[in-house]
Amino acid sequence: MRKNRPKYKAIIDGAVQVIAENGYHASQVSKIAKKAGVADGTIYLYFKNKEDILISVFKEKMGQFIQKIAEATHREQDVKKKLLTLIQLHFEQLAVDHHLAIVTQLELRQSDPNIRMQINNVLKDYLDVIDMILEEGIEQKVVRSDLNIPLMRQMIFGTIDETVTNWVMKNQKFDLVSLAPDVHNLLMNGLRTNE
Amino acid sequence: MRKNRPKYKAIIDGAVQVIAENGYHASQVSKIAKKAGVADGTIYLYFKNKEDILISVFKEKMGQFIQKIAEATHREQDVKKKLLTLIQLHFEQLAVDHHLAIVTQLELRQSDPNIRMQINNVLKDYLDVIDMILEEGIEQKVVRSDLNIPLMRQMIFGTIDETVTNWVMKNQKFDLVSLAPDVHNLLMNGLRTNE
Amino acid sequence: MRKNRPKYKAIIDGAVQVIAENGYHASQVSKIAKKAGVADGTIYLYFKNKEDILISVFKEKMGQFIQKIAEATHREQDVKKKLLTLIQLHFEQLAVDHHLAIVTQLELRQSDPNIRMQINNVLKDYLDVIDMILEEGIEQKVVRSDLNIPLMRQMIFGTIDETVTNWVMKNQKFDLVSLAPDVHNLLMNGLRTNE
Amino acid sequence: MRKNRPKYKAIIDGAVQVIAENGYHASQVSKIAKKAGVADGTIYLYFKNKEDILISVFKEKMGQFIQKIAEATHREQDVKKKLLTLIQLHFEQLAVDHHLAIVTQLELRQSDPNIRMQINNVLKDYLDVIDMILEEGIEQKVVRSDLNIPLMRQMIFGTIDETVTNWVMKNQKFDLVSLAPDVHNLLMNGLRTNE
DNA sequence: TATGAATGAGCCTTCATTCAT
DNA sequence: AATGAATGAAGGCTCATTCAT
């Protein structure tokens, strides 16, 4: 299968780097090819077009990203701990790969409607993980039940996302991972039931 | 003064529409000119280049946007009411002008570092409004003081922003404004002091 | 008459300066207008189009230039002195107005065939002066008669012109006028009869 | 090596023709591409920009031009014959390629300072050939020693150049090459020692 | 006459994509 | 499969010229 060939991975990784360094619109296919160590034409043996590269980058990288978070939260029993794990892994994975962080937080926000739709498809899995935590929390009465889930999910995702964006925009000058407990505390406070 | 001329406004408004419909990078200058009802060359009497259009769009539109919110929150006495007002006006203004909403939530996220820097400059005023509310809240012991302000601000802005983005992505199918009380409730819950 | 109005002269002088400073193709009409202290549109009350400005510049400036030389050589009796006068005045006039020198030696060489034709018309008068000196010289047996006049004229004009061009290209760093006697000596040597 | 590829030569030759026919500033890149039988974009695989085409045209064509003259004069022993050879080859080469003649005599005179500088660099070699002939002539007492070399060089180059320009301007209606002996005679007369 | 805002045709250059080798 | 030279469509921007005031 095409995706298992070494050049496929080389192109994906090259694309992440080039996009992180130049931004999506300044990322010429030839630049990606050079960084990946292949000829320009070779790109088109693996990808339909430039847009397809971007979508594939997101699917590959975010797929793994989400996968890890999904698995880790499943392993946890406690709802609060699930959320903490989610936040921590989210921060950790981006802190470790700042190229990916730039691409995720900044570059992927742009682009055509149909790219965005595909990206949202992938993101859907992530949001599902959040929803499941919330549902479990409501069931266990750790999370308030008077607000609908999408709203709470938006707070969780919005807060995490905004925090990472801030970190990226400030050129990763502070320690993102160490913020996890406070973010968790803040969110749990908002979510908790008001006895 | 250049900005008071009717064509300036026409171009800004044309740009908002065209960018909302096509995305920034697919928005040819000639398209903006046509929508504004001016010749292509006229654009360059009012704007340095295409990038300058985008920045001006943001400064003009977001400037007013933020101005309104800043004034309205200042008029309120109660901290909780200030936050509610902020959320409500944020939602209302974007709900009323969905072209602007698309540009704000999607198109402006992209683009070169130097565009982003300029945009952040404008946004700074908005974040300052949030910070002031938080500071006042801490003083009045309505807001917890054990977390730093940037973090809480990120929750507030992140949640509001994510909510609007969701609304835009779902093609404005639900009533954004009516969400304000719940968002407010959720955020205040997270922020409140834990006695 | 149009040409006597003060703005006509202002535009011509502005054009000479702007062209000397920027080169013909980087000399926008608006730049010339600004330098002349008139509105862009005013230019077109005095000139048909941009090309017409260039031609008029040449006619005005070179007209005077040639006029002076023609008169001065006529006043001289001696053929040798006539040629010396011609060389000296040629050098002097350009040395005094280096903007004009740049325009004459460099900028006017370019441009469309039909501009060149008009320029040549003006130059014709200058070449006629040379021819008359040569004819007189031949008559008086000071100038050899075994070569045709155009050839000798080309030597005279070519040598003078090349000397000025060199001076312009070297940024007028040496004294052009003081070269006149040597140039005259050299040319007379070539022209003299070989007894 | 880039310059050896057939398309490089095709573009250079196409450029010479198009520039000769239209003048440099009216020579669109697309016209040159069409004449050369390549796509517009192909031009930019071989040349940095439009200006680079002009400079390359000059370097290539004038390089060969000067090379031939330099070699031929070196082969001659006699100083007078060296000069005759120079004049003859100069005329012959331009007579044979009238497109090149137009470009050399008219189009290359124009243009930005930095183009001119590059052109002068190439021309320098030609002027050096003249200087060497003069020095040899002085040594052998065939050329007068009371005038400085640059001045005499200006007469030689100026006369030759002016003659060619006249020929080009008169649309090559007379036989340029046959003028060589007279031009030579005239110049030698000017240069000779006055015993 | 004079103004200068407005016009819009025109062109260099980029770069995603193709295809002969 | 892989290459990379070649393609050519597309668009931002300039500037000579016009015309309503």
Chain E bases near protein CB atoms (7 A cut-off): 1-20
CA distance B31 to B33: 5
Residue nearest the C1' of F18 (CA based): C41
With beta carbons under 8 A apart, name residues in chain B contacting A189.
144, 189-192, 194
Question: Is the per-residue pLDDT at A1 higher than 80?
Answer: no
What is the 3 state secondary structure string of chain B?
Answer: CHHHCHHHHHHHHHHHHHHHHHCHHHCCHHHHHHHHCCCHHHHHHHCCCHHHHHHHHHHHHHHHHHHHHHHHHHHCCCHHHHHHHHHHHHHHHHHHCHHHHHHHHCHHHCCCHHHHHHHHHHHHHHHHHHHHHHHHHHHCCCCCCCCCHHHHHHHHHHHHHHHHHHHHHCCCCCCCHHHHHHHHHHHHHHHCCCC
pLDDT band at B1 (very low <50, low <70, confident <90, very high): very low
Q: pLDDT per residue over D131-147, tens digit each?
A: 999 999 999 988 988 88
Q: Which residues of D touch C109 (CB under 8 A)?
A: 106, 109-110
What whole-number distance in Å separates Cα of residue A114 and Cα of residue B6?
35
pLDDT of residue C132: 96
Chains with at least 3 CB pairs less than 8 angstroms from chain A: B
CA–CA dist A125, A62 (Å, integer): 10
DSSP 8-class letter at A76: -
- Are A187 and A83 in contact by the 8 Å Cβ rule? The answer is yes
Q: What's residue C1's pLDDT? A: 46
Of B112, B148, B161, the CB nearest to A162: B161
Q: Closest to B163 (Cβ–Cβ): which among A25, A120, A154?
A: A154
- Ramachandran angles phi, psi of C177, nearest 5°: -60, -35
Helix axes D79-96, D180-191, angle to 10 degrees: 140
**CA separation for the pair B143, B152 (Å, rounded):** 10
Cα–Cα–Cα angle for C128, C131, C137, rounded to 5 degrees: 145
CB contact (8 A) between residue D187 and residue C155? yes
Report residue B121: phi and psi, to 5°: -55, -45
Residue A166 has pLDDT above 80, yes or no: yes
Q: What is the mean pLDDT of chain C?
A: 90
Q: Residues for chain D: how many in total?
A: 195
**B172 phi-psi bin (left φ>0, alpha ψ -120 to 50, beta other):** left
Nearest-Å Rg of the Cα atoms of chain D is 18
pLDDT in tens, A68-96: 999 999 999 999 999 999 999 999 999 99
CA dihedral for B2, B5, B7, B9, sign (positive or negative) = positive
Residue type, D191: L
Residue B9 above 80 pLDDT? yes
Q: C83 near C188, Cβ under 8 Å?
A: yes
Q: Which CATH superfamily is domain A1-47 in?
A: Homeodomain-like (1.10.10.60)
Q: Which of A43-52, A99-108, B74-83, B173-182 has the lowest mean pLDDT?
A: A99-108
D152/D167 Cα distance (integer angstroms): 23
Q: What is the pLDDT of residue C24?
A: 82
DSSP structure string for chain C: -GGGSHHHHHHHHHHHHHHHHH-GGG--HHHHHHHHTS-HHHHHHH-SSHHHHHHHHHHHHHHHHHHHHHHHHHH--SHHHHHHHHHHHHHHHHHH-HHHHHHHHTGGGSS-HHHHHHHHHHHHHHHHHHHHHHHHHHHTTSS-SSS-HHHHHHHHHHHHHHHHHHHHHTTT-S-SGGGHHHHHHHHHHHHS---
Q: Are C144 and D185 in contact (CB under 8 A)?
A: no
Least confident of B172-176, C24-28, C68-72, C128-132: C24-28
Mean pLDDT for all residues in chain A: 90
Q: Residue A37: left if φ>0, alpha if ψ -120 to 50, beta else—which one?
A: left
Nearest of D151, D183, D149, D181 to residue D164 by alpha carbon: D183
* Residues in C 22-41 with any Cβ partner in D closer than 8 A: 23-26
> Distance (Å, rounded) from C-alpha D181 to C-alpha C113?
30
Chain B touched by A158 (CB under 8 Å): yes
Cβ contact B154–A163 (<8 Å) = yes
Q: Residue C96 CB closer than 7 angstroms to strand F?
A: no
Identify whether the C-beta of residue A144 lies closer than 8 Å to the C-beta of residue A193.
Answer: yes
D121/D38: higher pLDDT: D38
**Nearest CB to B147 within list A26, A109, A186:** A186
Amino acid C94: pLDDT: 95
Those residues whose C-beta lies under 8 Å from the C-beta of residue C186, and which sit 6 or more positions away, are C159, D147, D151, D152, D155, D190, D191
In terms of Cα–Cα distance, which of D122, D136, D147, D3 is closest to D69? D122
Q: What mean pLDDT do residues A116-123 have?
A: 86
The CA distances from residue D22 to D15, D75, D92, D112, in Å, are 10, 38, 24, 18
What was the pLDDT predicted at A193?
61
| Distance, Å, A7 CA → F1 C1' | 11
C-alpha neighbours within 13 Å on the C-beta side of residue A13: 11
pLDDT of residue C103: 84
* H or E element at residue C90: helix C79-96
DSSP letter at A140 equals T
Q: Does B19 touch chain A (CB under 8 A)?
A: no
Residue corresponding to tokens 């925090």 = A163
Joined tokens for residue C156: 């005279």
Output the pLDDT for position A3: 64
Residue that has been written with the tokens 């590829």 in this structure = D5
Whether the predicted pLDDT of A19 surpasses 60: yes
Q: In chain C, where are the structural domains located? A: 1-47, 51-191
Measured CA C41 to C1' F19 distance, in angstroms: 10
**Cβ within 8 Å of B, A 126-145:** 144
Picking from A32, A29, A7, A4, the residue whose alpha carbon sits closest to that of residue A18 is: A32
Residue among C189, C193, C194 with most chain D CBs within 10 A, to mutate? C189
A23, A162, A192 ranked by CB distance to B157: nearest:
A162
Range A50-191 has CATH code 1.10.357.10:
yes
> CB–CB of A120 and B169 under 8 A?
yes
Average pLDDT over residues A8-18: 94
Average pLDDT of C154-171? Answer: 93
Report d(CA D2, CA A68) in Å as an integer. 51
Q: Which residues contact B128 (CB under 8 A, 6 or more apart)?
A: none
pLDDT(D4) > 60: no
D168, closest residue in chain C (CA to CA): C113
Least confident of B111-115, C186-190, D64-68: B111-115
Residues 6+ away with beta carbon under 8 Å from B101: B94, B95, B164, B167, B168, B172
- CA-based nearest residue to B87, from B191, B15, B194, B188: B188
**Would you call C38 helix, strand, or coil by DSSP?**
coil
Just give the CATH number of B51-191.
1.10.357.10
Angle A8-A11-A14 from CA coordinates, rounded to 5°:
150
Residue pair B107/A110 in contact by the 8 Å Cβ criterion:
yes
